[in-house]
Amino acid sequence: MSLLEKGGTAIDAAAGMGFVLHVVEPHLNGPFGDMPALIRLAGEDAPRAVCGQGTAPAGATIAHYHSEGLDLIPGSGLLATVIPGAFGAWMLMLRDHGRLSLREILEPAIHYARHGHPILPRVVDTIAGLGEFFKQEWPTSYATWLPGGSVPVAHSLFTNPALADMWQRLLQEAETKSTREAQIEAARATFYQGFIAESIDDYMKDACVMDAAGGRRRGVLNGQDMANWRAEYDAPLSVDYNGWDVWKCGMWSQGPSLLQSLRILDGMGIGEMDSNGADFVHTVTEVLKLSFADREAYYGDPRQTEIPADILLSKDYATARRALVGQVASLDQRPGRIDGYDAWVDAALARAARQTEAGPGAGAGEPTMAHLTDRRGDTVHIDVIDQWGNMISATPSGGWLQSSPVIPGLGAPLNSRAQMFWLDEGLPTSLAPGRRPRTTLSPSIARLPDGSWLPFGTPGGDQQDQWQLILLLRLVHHEKNLQAAIDAPLFHTGHLQASFYPRAIRRGHLMLEPAFGANVINELQQRGHEIEVSEPWSVGRLTAAKLEPSGLLRAAATPRLMQAYAIGR
């Protein structure tokens, strides 16, 4: 709020929050992670996407990874990394749509890194679970997260002086320039071509570290990869649904799966169903299975592969997919078949057939919620609307403390987003230099029939567009109050090819919060779903903000896990 009260825009405030989150929630995101965003500027009719998803390094070839004995990219370690993209995305948006100085943006993060913040119990649990591994395999992480050789005490002040030093030096170099825009561009250059890139390059030349696949391997990222990359604006995709317009990032994200789900659900009578009843849960789950099967067959970087997005989002295609939804839970993977793309579909089915539910290695994957192990990384989400009507929905992630060793002198590790590539040739998600991984990160913006605007989103890996779809359907058809819609019980399915190592599928899986009640849960079980009942209030981490035509602002955040906040003034 302080950045907004200083006259900053929504982008200024979101960036300030993003950098602070690197410090206070390092198990969920970090400075060398990735971040897509949607921004809608005051008076504009549609949002624009910002791609802070870094690409695979020049040395990231399938042949090289095979030579390292890999059939899957590990979920942690140095071969799991792509070019860090989040910082470049923040600098791009700040330069073009911010008002405050870079110092004003970074000072809160520097303060908390230098002087300390009350470390969260979940961060402590993550550190404790990997402490011995850090000591034996990742000594730079051991020195950073277990200073003095001890696990931090929950709620005690925890500092990261190396991270504070990095941001302070970056600021000093940027402030040799005279204008705000020049300083921001100088900071971007320092990150991707200056001492930060040089430190990463120096470390990667010699480091050979243990990864989630159980081997010690060198990475391929270098300083030249970083120097050659820039964040960019991108055209979002959208559909209309029941008078709402909904925007998501492009086919390089999983966002279009929500759009496909809306297309399929249109005309299925979802508005007449009880949104806490078995029919609603079953129907939405079966539709999600279809759209996520298409995600695995067709999604990828459209700059390197021709993706049939127009067909996937068309009403005719949705009609054909809708006919597959029955009264019994499907246990099959059922991507649609589009002429000319049979090889992709066959490959997706073959991958699904060979993946097992093997346990992940150290630091692998991304969890959905507290009911999964705290040793895996996750994500954060930010929605902001400012006094002028500018808004942003951003989902920073990656660079978790458990993803790879801390880079010496920088206080943070690299990301592990490359694990979303496949090591099979000829696919839209095949590992290739310069290609974006098909990320799970998925911010959203919607426009209501009355002209209101709604940025919203959630952390949660493969569950992001599941929980967001449920929220959206409730807002469209059942519940106009943002907080009530977020508080309603949630569910998700694991019946999909997981995006995170070891890429498992849980056939027929359906997790529900117990608030649905025994009758609903029993009926869903009778329909063939493999039911897993979560702990109370433990599924979903949704947030949303709303700007109404009158200028009234509203916001809501989940009470689950006590780490989400809705703040206004």
Question: Residue 369: what pLDDT?
Answer: 34
CB 287 within 8 A of CB 269: no
Mean pLDDT per 10-residue section of the chain, whose length is 569 residues = 96 98 97 98 98 98 98 97 98 98 98 98 96 97 97 98 98 98 98 98 98 97 98 98 98 98 97 98 98 98 98 98 98 97 97 71 50 56 98 97 97 98 98 98 98 97 98 97 98 97 96 98 98 96 97 96 87
| Measured CA distances, 365 to 333, 362, 374, 456 (Å) | 22, 9, 11, 24
Provide the β-strand partners of residue 453: 447, 547
Cα 246–chain centre separation: 18
- The position carrying tokens 């597959």 is 324
The Cα 338–Cα 321 span in angstroms is: 12
- Count of positions (residues) in the chain: 569
Alpha-carbon gap, residue 372 to 352, rounded angstroms: 22
Place of tokens 């659900």: 265
Q: What pLDDT is recorded for position 71?
A: 96
* pLDDT for the residue numbered 372: 29
Q: Given the DSSP bridges, would you call strands 391-394 and 382-385 parallel, antiparallel or unpaired?
A: antiparallel
Look at residue 569 in the predicted model and tell me its pLDDT. 81
Q: Compute the distance between CA of residue 288 and CA of residue 268 in angstroms, rounded to an integer.
A: 14
Predicted local confidence at residue 561, as pLDDT: 82
Spatial neighbors of 391 by CB under 8 A, at least 6 apart, are 10, 39, 40, 383, 384, 385, 445, 453, 455, 545, 547
Instruction: Tell me what pLDDT residue 306 has.
Output: 97
The predicted pLDDT at position 377 comes to 58
- The HSE-up count of residue 292 (CA atoms within 13 Å, CB side) is 27
Domains, the chain, ordered by start: 2-233+378-420 (no CATH), 238-358+453-562 (1.10.246.130)
Residue pointed to by tokens 């600021």: 171
Distance in angstroms (rounded) separating the CA atoms of residues 375 and 257: 28
Kindly state the tokens that stand for 248. 């998501």
Task: Supply the pLDDT for residue 373.
Answer: 37
**Contact between 287 and 325 (Cβ < 8 Å):** yes
- The model's pTM is 0.96
Nearest to 121 by CA among 88, 87, 151: 151
Q: Hey, what are 176's tokens?
A: 């040799």
pLDDT of 239 reads: 98
